[in-house]
Structure 1
Amino acid sequence: MEHLHDAAALRESMRAREPVVGGWVSIGHPAVAEITADAALDFVTIDMEHASMSIETVENLVRAVSVTPGETVPLVRPPSADQVAIKRVLDTGAGGLLVPRVDTPAEAAQVVEASTYPPAGMRGTGAGRASNYGRTLPAYIDAADEALTRIIQVETRDAVDNATEIAAVDGVDALFVGPADLSAALDCHLDFSASEFEDAVGTVLDAAEAEGVPVGVFATAPDQLEEWLDSGFDFAIVGYDAKFLREATDELVAAFEAGIGGSSEAR
């Protein structure tokens, strides 16, 4: 049950709007999740929406994050707000959810319901990894509802318009802006300085502030991260595994080619 203790601590920190920082895993190998978690992050999000991962892969990544020394909590982004997808993700032992494409308060309430045991919710009961394969099932059922973090992504015009109502849903712990999808929905794809995008972000931040709910953002560059934190975001996911691998490789290849060129000229 130690993983639930860490999950509950993350939820408490997030709801208190303390600064927390997360990582992102899209490569389906446990070593990647383990290396990411070892960076002293508060949480690591495992992506099922765009990454090619089965539930077996997700469970192995959750396991890798969980056994890494420290208190990093594995979260999972399911492919959708589907009740069955949420149930299966949580049974792996994930400490919470980052749910994409939630546009209305009714959909947000369904996410909470799907991740909450009866009688308050409709999460199915199974003896999976989350409960030590049934060994601690009663204790897990008693603790899970209040330990799991539920983060709702704001990615469309409708979600922006409904941000206040979504933030007000009981059980929603945080909102999260997905810049790429939100900018695409606003017809300014990847232009984060566009007035439409900045206005939408302002609307979400104001709505969440009114409800006392934190808002997170995905940032891939230090200057971008600094700007968004200054604008009022409470927490962030910083970069992602594939980007780090690609950019570090490109940097060293460029250094090698520059070194070879210099050596050739010297000869």
Structure 2
Amino acid sequence: MKIKKNKFKEHISKKNKQIGIWSCLTNNTIAEIISVTGFDWSVIDMEHSPNDIQEVLTQLQVMEGYDTEPVVRVPWNEPIMVKRILDMGAQTILYPFVQNVEEAKVAVEATRYPPKGIRGIMSAARMNRYGHVENYYLEAEKEICVLIQCETKEAIKNIPEIAKVDGIDGIFIGPSDLSGSIGKIGQFEDQEVQDLIYEGLELATKAGKPAGILTGKKDYAKKYVEAGYTFVAINSDTNLFARSAENLLKEFK
């Protein structure tokens, strides 16, 4: 049996636009709906959502066989959780709050087997189809996609150096923490916040790395795609449900 190809990694490396969604509701049916609908990628969020290990596993299993690439955002840039997520079969990891080259190197090393990294070696688990994938340990690196979030003014400035780290496949701009880092928390439409968002795109592009971003506003999503962002999450399941429910209720009350 051959290793599963990471089509998302292949597409963003070629700067093919990938439209995604953020998934926070820790629900298998939601994961299935997202996949059936046909999003290119979907973040299973562990940082700001109550997704635990078992819930992530079952969502990965539900999404198997669909074209939607599950992107697992781990809670933090540390190797133990990453090891478990990779062994469960995830091939794309999104790291929150990476500030500099040193932290970017730590992120990559957690996804690589020795001697390139520190990923622990498991003989048979979901990642290698319980031992059925040929040459998994030699092939895994090619299909693992490492995305790092630059979500402060400092991190934005460090993108040129971060992008040089071998194994970084994409730069993700985090608008929420970015706004907070300059004292404008939640003011996503503020000009200074937007300038940093576009500066991040420009620096990533100059460094030859695809850039990604999340927004809950349709107009901004379109602007980011048109501006050159390669992978854009155009909303979250939580926000879609909450706003739809809110608007429906307003029609009756």
TM-score (norm 1): 0.89
* Identity percentage of aligned residues: 31
RMSD (Å), alpha carbons: 1.7
Question: Hey, what does 2:163 align to over in structure 1?
Answer: 167
Please say which structure displays the higher CA radius of gyration: 1
- Total equivalences in the alignment: 252
1:95-174 equivalences under 5 Å are: 95-126=91-122, 127-136=124-133, 138-174=134-170
In 2, the alpha carbon distance for the partners of 1:217 and 1:248 equals 23
Aligned partner letter, 1:53 = N
Aligned partner letter, 2:61 = R
Question: Hey, what does 1:181 align to over in structure 2?
Answer: 177
Q: Could you report, residue by residue, the CA deviation over 1:13-34 in whole angstroms, capped at 9, with x for unpaired residues?
A: 1111110111221111211111
Q: Greater CA deviation, 185-194 or 166-175?
A: 185-194
1:3, distance to aligned residue in structure 2 (A) = 7.0
Aligned partner letter, 1:191 = Q
1:199, distance to aligned residue in structure 2 (A) = 2.9
Q: Greater CA deviation, 25-34 or 229-238?
A: 229-238
1:57-76 equivalences under 5 Å are: 57-67=55-65, 70-76=66-72
In 1, the alpha carbon distance for the partners of 2:242 and 2:135 equals 43
**Aligned residue among 15, 21, 31 for 1:33:** 31
- Unpaired runs of 5+ in structure 1? 258-267
Higher helix residue share? 1
Question: Hey, what does 1:199 align to over in structure 2?
Answer: 195
Question: Hey, what does 1:260 align to over in structure 2?
Answer: none
Aligned partner letter, 2:4 = L
1:2, distance to aligned residue in structure 2 (A) = 6.9
Structure 1 194/42 Cα, relative in aligned 2: closer, same or farther at 3 Å?
A: same
**Aligned residue among 80, 83, 92 for 1:84:** 80
Aligned partner letter, 1:238 = I
Question: Hey, what does 2:221 align to over in structure 1?
Answer: 225
Q: Does 2:1 match 1:4?
A: no
1:4, distance to aligned residue in structure 2 (A) = 2.0
Question: Quick check: 1:3–1:66 contact (8 Å CA) kept in 2?
Answer: no
In 1, the alpha carbon distance for the partners of 2:106 and 2:233 equals 25
- Unpaired runs of 5+ in structure 2? none
Question: Quick check: 2:3–2:140 contact (8 Å CA) kept in 1?
Answer: no
